[in-house]
Chains A and B, each alone.
Chain A
Amino acid sequence: MKVYTGGGDKGKTSLFSGERVPKHHIRIEAYGDLDELNSMLGAVAAYLPEGEQAIRGDFEQIQSHLFLAGAWLATTPDSSATGYLTALPVNVSKDLEKRIDALSDVLPVLKEFILPGGQPVAAWAHVARTVCRRCERRLTELIEVSPDAGNSELAAIQVYLNRLSDYLFVVARYLNQLLGTADKTWKK
């Protein structure tokens, strides 16, 4: 099967629910940003140190969850196409919290702002965190301007993205520590 048909050459694309919308439509922006985040996670994973299996495993799960989330964002809420979508696992945000706690347990307590950066893999994790925050902002906008306000699945995705940003922040710190680089604190 070929990837291209040229159906989008004039600036429109199809949602999963079939509507044709301009490519700058808020829904496309929202799941496009999720795609960017997913790709960013792939890039971070590619730079993970050998043997760092726990975070690698986390990332694989998260990338799959982001696919599920993207499909929800690409579907208008009143469409019968929602019947083909898969909900995020019930405990997905709670599970992230457990991972945040586990990684935080081996890190020094944070008392000041830190500068994003350090080891390349950690620096990329910080970039992924900022992309994740943008995804969250897009989603809140989508929920505000579209008929998605009562969509409980989008509400669950919103929580998940909020937690995922925190997780990526902790991952960045954890990787810096693992690779022997201390947090660099902000100085006025």
Chain B
Amino acid sequence: MHRISILKREWLDDEAFELTFDRPDNFSFVAGQHVTLSLHGEERDYTLLSPPDARELRFLIRRIRGGVLSGALAELAPGSSVGMSQAKGYLIYRPTDRPVYFVANGVGIAPFMAMAASGVRGFTLVHGAREVSGLFYRRALTMAASRYIPCLSGPAQPGIMLLDLHRGHVTDYIDRHLKPGLYDFYLCGSRPMIHDMTHLLDEHFPGTRIYSEAYS
């Protein structure tokens, strides 16, 4: 178990914030892996946003209503420390000659940010949120991705102009627009999204590889 100290916090919208910590000397990880953060006996898993060679460790955290740990992390002062486990998990990029699709909603974008920051390229990113403010890191990811597809499932807002914008859920986009073929899919986000995407791909794109991780 490591002890890491908060360096800074940046709010991305009303509920989500990015927390930056110092990095322990003997800590290593692969882009896409997560750790368990702990404070006063409360524990929760968070995926690292940073690439493996970063000097600091960044996390994307959603403040959960009634969530003890996320509530505390939202308010801890810089310099405060929390516990951090070794890195774990297998939502990591496997080089391939197939077309690669990253599909994320909510804070599930974190592993794909880490992969993009570590130099992974050539992927299509299908990024879901209710509103445009929930498309975290949209600009950076648009630059890194071969194609970036924002999917907004909330009511249409006036004045929103996004390239390749799809109105609806990420599953709806894949169902309507993906041509038959063999793909490598990486899914990260809510359990209903993972569930629906997995069944959709199994049914309509047999032979496609799926790597997934669900956030509660």
Contact = CB atoms under 8 A, between A and B. Distances in A.
A80 B215 CA distance: 26
Nearest to A82: B94
B28 to A, nearest CB: 13
Interface of B is mostly: mixed
A16 B211 CA distance: 8
A18 B211 contact: yes
A14 B34 CA distance: 20
A2 B215 CA distance: 7
Interface string B181-216: 000100000010011001101100011111111111
B191 A4 contact: yes
A169 to B, nearest CB: 35
A80 B194 contact: no
Interface string A11-32: 0101011111000000000000
A19 B201 CA distance: 11
Nearest to B34: A1
A17 B214 contact: no
A181 interface: no
A79 interface: yes
Nearest to B195: A6
Interface residues of B, number: 27
A107 B195 CA distance: 54
A18 B96 CA distance: 11
A12 B92 contact: no
A7 B199 contact: yes
Interface of A is mostly: loop
Indicate the member of A14, A18, A81 with the most B CB atoms within 10 Å. Answer: A18
A5 interface: yes
Contacts of A10: 199, 202
B184 A18 contact: yes
B199 A19 contact: no
B216 A5 contact: no
B90 interface: yes
A113 interface: no
B96 A20 contact: no
B210 A20 contact: yes
Given A17-B209, A79-B94, A80-B96, A7 B198 contact: yes
B41 interface: no
B215 A18 contact: no
A84 interface: yes
B45 interface: yes
A6 B94 contact: no
Nearest to B206: A20
A4 B198 CA distance: 13
B208 A5 contact: no
21 contacts: A1-B215, A1-B216, A2-B216, A4-B191, A5-B194, A5-B195, A5-B214, A6-B194, A6-B195, A9-B199, A14-B209, A14-B211, A17-B94, A18-B184, A19-B207, A20-B202, A20-B208, A80-B94, A80-B96, A81-B94, A84-B92
What 7 A-B pairs are tightest by C-beta distance, nearest first?
Answer: A18-B209, A7-B198, A6-B195, A5-B194, A80-B94, A5-B214, A80-B95
Interface of B: 30, 34, 45, 90, 92, 94-96, 184, 191, 194-195, 198-199, 201-202, 206-216
